[in-house]
Amino acid sequence: MALSDVAVRQAKATGKDYSLPDFDGLCLAVSATGTKSWHFRYTWLGRQKRMSLGTYPEITLREARTRRDDARALVAKDINPQRQRTKARNLATQAE
């Protein structure tokens, strides 16, 4: 079942880490202290991988889904999204 904005806002700390799944690999990880972060789970070379997409509320549900879709498109093209992001950051810092 897909997450709603209300469900994301109402997710509270329970003393243990837990995740709320969305769909297509997106989930909201809620830490024991109440910090909420978006993660994209995918398979790369037969291994499960997890990529952070940002923290809530800086990254909204809609933006997290957009970032997830971009990462899924890279996986479909046989490009590791974590490495692609690292390369893009390195190029940005070199350009400055």
Q: What is the pLDDT of residues 14-48, one digit of tens each?
A: 999 999 999 999 999 999 999 999 999 999 999 99
Residue of 35, 38, 33, 30 whose CA lies nearest to 15: 33
Whether the pLDDT of residue 8 is over 90: the answer is yes
Backbone phi, then psi, for 82, in 5-degree steps? -65, -45
pLDDT reported for residue 60: 95
What's the DSSP call for residue 88? Answer: H
The mean of the pLDDT values for the chain is 94
Q: Give the C-alpha separation, 70 to 80, whole Å.
A: 11
Which pLDDT score, from 0 to 100, does residue 2 have?
A: 87
- For the chain, give the number of residues: 96
Domains, the chain, with CATH or none: 5-95 (3.30.160.390)
Residue type, 18: Y
Residue 95 has pLDDT above 90, yes or no: no
